[in-house]
Amino acid sequence: MKEHCLDIGSIQAFLDGELAHSESARVSGHIAMCDGCAVMLAEAENESAIVFPALEREFNSLVPTQRLWTRINDSITVERDAQPIWRKAWAYVSIALANPSLTAAASILLVVGIGVVVWTNQEPVGNDIALVSRPAASAPATAAKQPPRQIESADAGVDSDAAAASAPRQALNYQRASYQPTRSRERTDLSPVSSDARPAAEASSYMPGEDIYVKTIANLAKNVDETKDIVMRPAQRIAYERDMAVVNDAISKMQKEVKRNPRNESAKQVLYSSYQNKIDLLNSVSQKEELMASIR
């Protein structure tokens, strides 16, 4: 072990961070195993702790160390990044224009480009239009600013008014990125979008499957409300209403909890279970009525 011990130079280089990564790892591994080298490292650290603060000003001001070079390079990088982009572009263009063949090619491209732009602006709106999605909820605001135009399909020549009447609501979620107002395609009234979107928003507030429970309960409750006074005596009504209150309370609490923390699977499970309890309770009234009717 002794012949592999580190010399003080290596330890000092290790302390100064001058060793390569692999070498540094080897040295730290050896120090961890060797008590003698660990003592040497501790002594070197103590010496450095005394010497470096005393000489720091001299190091920083007089000696062009690696640290100084690093600072200079960092400053250059920052300054380069801060340079405006047009200045960079101009530098590239200047270099490029120094070559006559490149200059000629650029001139031809410029002329052709201008021609294409002029020709495109004269054509009626075609089928080469990008579709940009927009949220349905923002439709009224968009309509107030500029009448949006629907895109039912990418086929050219489709009469958009006729298609608008039959198109599914999802089609309203699209408009042209480069809008060209055309009188025949204007649509100012987007109220159906907002009214249709509202139930969709309500439905989306339910968890998967929850809306089925809610609809079922609503249907059952409607029937039971009409018949419960006939089917149940007052004492039974009290028990029924008490049970219903217990179930409703559980549902209310779980709904709040699920809204607060949608990832609470326990609350979801109890919520579904409570929905089922409510359905069973409502069903019991209906089934009792059926049984009473069958016993005549």
Partner 1 sequence: MIAAAFAALAVPAGAQGPWTAPIIRPVVIAPPDVHAAPPPPLLTDGHTSERAIAVDPNVNLSICVTQGSLKINGWNRKEVRVFVKDGAKFGFKVLEKGKQNDPVWITMTSAASKANPTTECIWGDEIEMDVPVNATINIKGRQTKTVIDTVRKANVKTIGGDVSIRNVSEGVLAVVYVGDVTVEGAKGGISLETTTGNILVFEAGPSEIGDTFKAKTSSGMISLQKVEHRQIEVGSISGSIAYDGRILNGGAYSLSTSNGSIRMSLPAETSCNVIAWYGFGSFDTEVPMKILTENISEGPVKRIHGLMGAGDATVKLTTNNGSIAIVKQ
Residue 295 binds partner 1 (CB under 8 A): yes
Residue 46, number of CB atoms within 10 A of its CB: 10
Q: Which stretch binds partner 1 (CB under 8 A): 142-150, 159-167, 175-183, 232-240?
A: 232-240
262-266: list long-range contacts, CB under 8 Å, 24+ apart. Answer: 262/207
Tokens of 5: 């011990």
Residue 211 binds partner 1 (CB under 8 A): no
How many positions of this chain bind partner 1 (CB under 8 A)?
A: 33
Helix locations, 150-264, DSSP H: 160-166, 191-204, 210-231, 234-260
Residue among 149, 220, 254, 275 that touches partner 1 (CB under 8 A): 254
Q: Which stretch binds partner 1 (CB under 8 A): 76-84, 90-98, 117-125, 266-274?
A: 266-274
Residue among 74, 239, 259, 262 that touches partner 1 (CB under 8 A): 239
Q: Which stretch binds partner 1 (CB under 8 A): 2-10, 62-70, 126-134, 242-250?
A: 242-250
Distance CA 223, CA 212 (A): 17
Residue 264 binds partner 1 (CB under 8 A): yes
Query: 251: exposed, middle or buried (C-beta count within 10 Å: 0-12, 13-18, 19+)?
Result: buried
Question: Hey, which residues does 133 pair with through a beta bridge?
Answer: 174
Q: Which stretch binds partner 1 (CB under 8 A): 90-98, 192-200, 213-221, 245-253?
A: 245-253
Residue 263 binds partner 1 (CB under 8 A): no
Q: What is the residue whose two structure tokens read 């690696």?
A: 66
Distance CA 177, CA 111 (A): 26
Residue ranges that bind partner 1, judged by CB under 8 A: 233, 235-236, 238-240, 242-243, 246-247, 250, 253-254, 256-257, 264, 266-267, 269-270, 273-274, 277, 280-281, 284, 287-288, 291-292, 294-296
